[in-house]
A and B are shown apart, each in its own frame.
Chain A
């Protein structure tokens, strides 16, 4: 009989301290669920904002990719995102003669505000990606110089410089407009064939359309004018030195921006978002932590007599402290799992349902985002449970057993 019982029991769950710690938080399911929700919201904010800002950072890093131009030269007083030609096209050839310069090209940035996509008008208010001046961002460039914009590979072919009806399109704008190679697009009142699509990883470049420089100059009445000169330095040259050299060669006429400067500017913006997201996260975590402390204090308060019994049967103060602390950590780790799942599913859902946002942001699944959220959850569990656990461990057994 006894053997049968033992055999039967061996199939059952083994009683361990850990199983006790995992079971205990669910004695009051509603209260524990509320505490979990409180922390999960904080974790969700950390993970979701981390994925989004991480994705934007990765995109910024892509602007610094090998092969692309390190320096952008624009008319003094303007910026590299301004459209329209203000620099003579020949300036690109002049800059090429400066020491340390490996390659240059003039590009013309323009925006399409009054054209249509296929049969539909395509301006920024109707789903087209907002370019520098509103509407679609269009860049005129020599087809042999596309690498200076970081475009190394194409799906399809590149346009021919002499063509007047060919364009290539960035991945983001192609997705946004639901276009692919072979489709046509109406720009400046003319039909253009999309001969290729590209993806550089930079959300700015991937949101644009490229066409032959001469064609865009004609369409925008900017003959022999460019808006930017892209400069690639030689392998052994210092980018800052070359940049200063260009500034000195064209005082008050041209101004230079390095890709690193641009990336730093974007990163500064992202740092601000990062700080803001941390502030929001900390607030959410603080509120959640108060919830955990409240839950655990209530739990200890209700189980005072039980803690007295545990002490009476020989449990050490350390074991009781460990049990209550463990229960607190169990709550916050469940909140970590719940918050992370909601964040990942939520971000993916929003990006899928909103292609215009989804095209720009590729969420980052970097392990450090999840590690950070895990550590936050763990520490909230430790600090949230510390005081209730200490209180429980210091209870006098006789007083605890007398507790009604």
Chain B
């Protein structure tokens, strides 16, 4: 797959909850090129997070088609394997495991790979160095600042060399200065690791950092615009 190919292809995707009363996705269409950085914007309840969950195979759609990294997510049964190999998640609330050290948290996704303990450690160290936390590898997350925790979460998301990083409001719990640092870090790593970055946000200045902005409303893509930046 080269950089001109679509890594995400979504057509007519529908997802409803509560016996069809709530339509989270209502015929969503979206294409994302490999290595692209897009932001998904829209008001609360518009379907942003549902779309992210579908791309990350955390949930399955009722109708339509969704191909991610060449895998038909409407058909495959091995969703956990897909997530482990192709997807890295960055959540608003970093969601680190409090009793594990920084380096152990980063290694967690590697349990589902065939990596040896040494390989796991080396890869985690490489990423912790990239996010400038090599001096805090043995600390517990509770001793870190919000920005540092999110940097650990970014390292964790990248540890299995995923094709796509899905970031759900990654700066939502941070102050604007720290948020900017995190966004720049995500942007840098997206470029260095040649990973596609899909970021959900409702803050325009965050969205504008992406190459494209996808506006979502009532479970559909309303328009796609190129970012000013």
Binding site for B on A (CB under 8 A): 1-2, 5-6, 9-10, 12, 14-17, 20, 23-24, 26-27, 305-306, 308-317, 319, 396-398, 401
Binding site for A on B (CB under 8 A): 53, 56, 58-59, 80-81, 83-85, 87, 89, 91, 93, 95, 97-100, 103-104, 107-109, 111-112, 117-118, 120-122, 125-126, 129, 134, 137-138, 156, 160
Taking each of B53, B85, B108, B129, which has the highest tally of chain A beta carbons within 10 Å of its own beta carbon? Answer: B108
Known: A314-B109, A315-B112, A319-B112. A9 touches B129 (CB 8 A): no
A27 touches B84 (CB 8 A): no
Which residue on chain B has the smallest CB distance to residue A28? B99
A24 touches B99 (CB 8 A): yes
A9 touches B83 (CB 8 A): no
Residues of B within 8 A of A398 (CB): 53, 58-59
A316 touches B112 (CB 8 A): yes
Residues of A within 8 A of B134 (CB): 1-2, 5
Docked pose: A15 CA to B126 CA in angstroms: 16
7 more contacts with CB within 8 A, not counting A2-B125, A2-B134, are A5-B137, A6-B125, A15-B117, A308-B95, A314-B83, A314-B87, A316-B80
Docked pose: A311 CA to B99 CA in angstroms: 18
A397 touches B126 (CB 8 A): no
Docked pose: A309 CA to B80 CA in angstroms: 12
Which residue on chain A has the smallest CB distance to residue B153? A309
User: What are 8 residue pairs bridging A and B, where the CB atoms are less than 8 Å apart in the complex?
Assistant: A2-B125, A2-B129, A6-B121, A23-B99, A309-B89, A311-B58, A314-B85, A398-B58
Main secondary structure of the interface of A (DSSP, over half): helix
Known: A314-B81, A314-B109, A401-B91. A2 touches B126 (CB 8 A): yes
Q: Which 8 A-B pairs have the closest CB atoms?
A: A314-B84, A313-B109, A314-B83, A309-B95, A397-B58, A14-B117, A314-B112, A27-B99
Choose one: B81, B89, B117, B125; the contact of A312 (CB below 8 Å): B89
Residues of B within 8 A of A27 (CB): 98-99
A17 touches B111 (CB 8 A): yes
Residues of B within 8 A of A397 (CB): 58-59
Docked pose: A317 CA to B84 CA in angstroms: 13
Known: A398-B53, A401-B91. A315 touches B125 (CB 8 A): no
Known: A1-B134, A27-B98, A305-B95. A310 touches B117 (CB 8 A): no
Cβ distance B112 to chain A, nearest Cβ, rounded Å: 5
Residues of B within 8 A of A316 (CB): 80, 112
A312 touches B112 (CB 8 A): no
Known: A2-B126, A9-B103, A27-B99. A311 touches B120 (CB 8 A): no
Residues of A within 8 A of B104 (CB): 15, 20
A306 touches B95 (CB 8 A): yes
Which residue on chain A has the smallest CB distance to residue B99? A27
Residues of B within 8 A of A23 (CB): 99-100
A306 touches B129 (CB 8 A): no
Docked pose: A315 CA to B108 CA in angstroms: 9
Cβ distance B93 to chain A, nearest Cβ, rounded Å: 8
Residues of A within 8 A of B56 (CB): 312
Residues of A within 8 A of B122 (CB): 6
Residues of A within 8 A of B93 (CB): 305
Docked pose: A310 CA to B111 CA in angstroms: 10
Docked pose: A310 CA to B110 CA in angstroms: 11
Residues of B within 8 A of A6 (CB): 121-122, 125
Which residue on chain B has the smallest CB distance to residue A315? B112
Cβ distance A402 to chain B, nearest Cβ, rounded Å: 9
Docked pose: A344 CA to B15 CA in angstroms: 62
Docked pose: A14 CA to B124 CA in angstroms: 13
A20 touches B100 (CB 8 A): yes
Docked pose: A14 CA to B137 CA in angstroms: 13
Docked pose: A10 CA to B103 CA in angstroms: 12
Docked pose: A15 CA to B122 CA in angstroms: 12
Docked pose: A167 CA to B99 CA in angstroms: 70
Cβ distance A314 to chain B, nearest Cβ, rounded Å: 2
Known: A9-B125, A9-B137. A311 touches B95 (CB 8 A): no
Choose one: B97, B125, B156, B160; the contact of A306 (CB below 8 Å): B97
Docked pose: A311 CA to B83 CA in angstroms: 8
Which residue on chain A has the smallest CB distance to residue B107? A15
A309 touches B99 (CB 8 A): no
A12 touches B138 (CB 8 A): yes
Which residue on chain A has the smallest CB distance to residue B128? A5
B103 touches A313 (CB 8 A): no
Residues of A within 8 A of B95 (CB): 305-306, 308-309, 401
Known: A23-B99, A306-B97. A315 touches B80 (CB 8 A): yes
Residues of B within 8 A of A396 (CB): 59
Docked pose: A24 CA to B100 CA in angstroms: 9
Docked pose: A350 CA to B160 CA in angstroms: 59
Which residue on chain B has the smallest CB distance to residue A309? B95
A401 touches B58 (CB 8 A): yes
B109 touches A16 (CB 8 A): no
Which residue on chain B has the smallest CB distance to residue A14? B117
Docked pose: A293 CA to B120 CA in angstroms: 33
Docked pose: A5 CA to B104 CA in angstroms: 15
Choose one: B81, B87, B103, B160; the contact of A15 (CB below 8 Å): B103
A15 touches B58 (CB 8 A): no
Which residue on chain A has the smallest CB distance to residue B108? A313
Cβ distance A98 to chain B, nearest Cβ, rounded Å: 78
